[in-house]
Amino acid sequence: MGKLIFIILITIGCLGLVAQVSFPTKIGTTIIKPQEGDSILWSEGRKLNWDDFKSNVYPNKDYLSASTVTIDVNCYCDKGKYNWKAEALFSKSMSWVKNGKSTDYVLQHEQNHFNLTEVYARRIRKECVLYSNPCANLEKLKSIIDGLKEKYDKEQLRYDLETKHGGNKTAQKKWEEDIKKQLKELDAYKRDKNYTPPKK
């Protein structure tokens, strides 16, 4: 049996500006690859700081800063063995902040975007773990992940809309707490866990 593989990279530029959104429709197709050395892998112990925002290009002058965050998904079967990963990444070279606007509050808004990315990476990990007999039907699993991708895109945009890109402090605080709650609920699917399905 040969190798069946699909690689999915979901990328969204946050703070209201969608820089790139890609989702391969064919198995074995990759449209965007995270640049080596450019990406930060989400971790509880590694918070974003302003030194991570390397781009000097400000595509949208109405915003103070922007993050480019990615969910990198790779699922494949090799000789009947199922392998997969789902990682939340932050692109340093495609993220920016305007001079004089690098406050702690604005940085937290960007961190929330990254944390929300991890929420959906965990949701995808959950599907990869619980999906029955994946090597028999990877296309069906891809369809499930497609649906999560659509929800992820909408949720990122809704976060910016409801918080007015960080301008509504009450709404931002509510979102921050909700994202923390979701991360806790999905703790079994943290990247540093062994992905053993929780007991029913």
| pTM reported for the whole predicted model | 0.80
**CB neighbours of residue 198 within 10 Å:** 10
Mean pLDDT of 148-162: 94
- Strand 39-41: give its sheet, edge to edge: 3-13, 65-78, 81-97, 39-41
In terms of pLDDT, which residue wins out, 101 or 174? 174
Torsion sign over Cα 114, 120, 123, 127: negative
Ramachandran angles phi, psi of 32, nearest 5°: -125, 135
Planar angle of CA 105, 111, 115, nearest 5 degrees? 145
Quote the mean pLDDT of the chain. 80
For 10-67, the pLDDT digits (tens) are 444 443 222 222 222 222 223 345 566 789 999 999 999 999 999 987 776 678 999 9
Mean pLDDT of 86-110: 93
The per-residue pLDDT for 34 is: 52
Task: Specify the amino acid at residue 99.
Answer: N
In terms of pLDDT, which residue wins out, 149 or 80? 149
